Amino acid sequence: MSLATRLWVAYVRTGAAKERVLRSVRPARMHFVHYSWPLRPGACPCDVDFCEYLRERELGGKSVFHFGTGGHHVVGMENARAPVPNEVLALTLSPNEHATYVKHVIRNPALGKHYKVLFADIYSLSAESLPVFDIVSLFHLCEFSGASDAGQRLSDCEVLRLFRSRLSPQGIMLFYPGSYGFPRLAPLLEQEVGAGRLSLLERYKSLVVYRGHDPVL
């Protein structure tokens, strides 16, 4: 393990220990990601592959939901450089990642024209709070299954079905099998496929792409 990796692991573990102490004092404290994830395509290529997928498929002018911005905000940065930008609503559970977004937009307001970042728990959302999306990326679904607090109202299965219900006709959903939450997500995807609500469209690099369908009655 390199020195940089050891320092990163120590930083993450120290922050996690601090949060455990604070939640023991204040049990109602929100569960959030205390660190900001850097761009590390070798370890987590999903966001880079997502950008390449959109570019290669010439998907522009679409409504996109992106779960997990990373501190790099590469999806928003690449979207700003696209010939036809998508309208991207991204979500982060990291205050540091959201603060980085705010700094970027203050310095470069043009970034915010087509890229909005919401700090929120994905398990607290509702259909009434969401528009219709053409493209949904849920690369990190099921990674936070064990962390619950008073602000949540959905399970992983309910989050998956919520976003499938917010897909436009022929809309697509993308997932990342390299996620440590994917073993818990895979059976949920199988249920949706079995019910006719999703079908596997293609595999692209580190990602899998599903097409959404109206429920089979």
Tens digits of per-residue pLDDT, 131-156? 999 999 999 999 876 666 666 889 99
Tell me the pTM.
0.89
pLDDT for the residue numbered 3? 64
Q: How many CB atoms lie within 10 A of CB 9?
A: 11
pLDDT for the residue numbered 217? 40
Q: What residue ranges do the domains of the chain occupy?
A: 1-29, 31-212
Read off the pLDDT band of 37 (50, 70, 90).
Answer: confident
CATH 3.30.1050.10 at 31-212, yes or no: no
Query: How far is it, in rounded angstroms, from Cα 142 to Cα 51?
Result: 22
CA triplet 205, 166, 119: central angle to 5 degrees? Answer: 75
Map tokens 């290669």 to a residue. 56
